């Protein structure tokens, strides 16, 4: 029986954790991109090395062309939910919140395609799973106990 495979969402990852991951762990190009954006130059190089190593080892999950249409569908349905809950007028979201949701949906869809469980503390993944039944998630507290 194959061991479950995991992917840490951005809110779970630390550089130390990421560098010490064994082969059960996949890395997301989306998560690494998010981490690389807000880091010091030395840490950027470490993330870059992890990216290249993950790519070489076949552990880097990158959203594929086929992931974008399901991601767009999920984003559309989530927007419709927000609009319905607000009685027809969609509440405004900041550009940052919109970007974070797009990234989360891409992480979710690409992880589900690979059969990988996303370890996260982000409640958006519960909403995403409602529309993407193949998505497997586990909370950080549950994972680390």
Q: What is the pTM of this model?
A: 0.90
Question: Residue 1 domain-assigned?
Answer: no
CATH number at residue 46: 3.40.50.1010
The encoded tokens of residue 84 equal: 């319905």
pLDDT in tens, 93-145: 889 899 999 999 999 999 999 999 999 999 999 999 999 999 999 999 898 88
Position 58 in a domain = yes
Tens-place pLDDT, residues 50-79: 899 999 999 999 999 999 999 999 999 999
For 100-128, b where at least 16 C-beta lie within 10 A, e where not — what string?
A: bbebbbbbbbbbbbeebbbbbebebbebb
For residue 38, the model assigns a pLDDT of: 84
Find the domain containing 39 and state its range.
Answer: 6-144
Report how many domains make up the chain. Answer: 1
In a domain, 111, yes or no: yes
In a domain, residue 128? The reply is yes
In a domain, 140, yes or no: yes
């Amino acid at each position: 029986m194959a061991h479950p495979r995991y992917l840490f969402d951005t809110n779970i990852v630390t550089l130390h954790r990421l560098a010490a991951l064994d082969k059960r762990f996949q890395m997301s190009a989306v998560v690494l991109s998010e981490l690389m954006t807000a880091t010091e130059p030395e840490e950027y190089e470490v993330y870059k090395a992890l990216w290249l190593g993950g790519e070489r080892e076949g552990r880097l999950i990158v959203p594929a062309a086929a992931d974008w249409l399901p991601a767009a569908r999920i984003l559309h349905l989530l927007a419709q939910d927000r609009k319905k809950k607000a009685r027809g007028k969609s509440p405004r979201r900041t550009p940052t919140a919109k970007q974070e949701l797009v990234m989360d949906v891409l992480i979710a869809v690409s992880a589900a395609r690979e059969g990988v469980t996303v370890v996260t503390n982000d409640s958006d993944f519960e909403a995403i799973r409602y529309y993407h039944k193949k998505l497997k998630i586990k909370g950080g507290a549950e994972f680390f106990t």
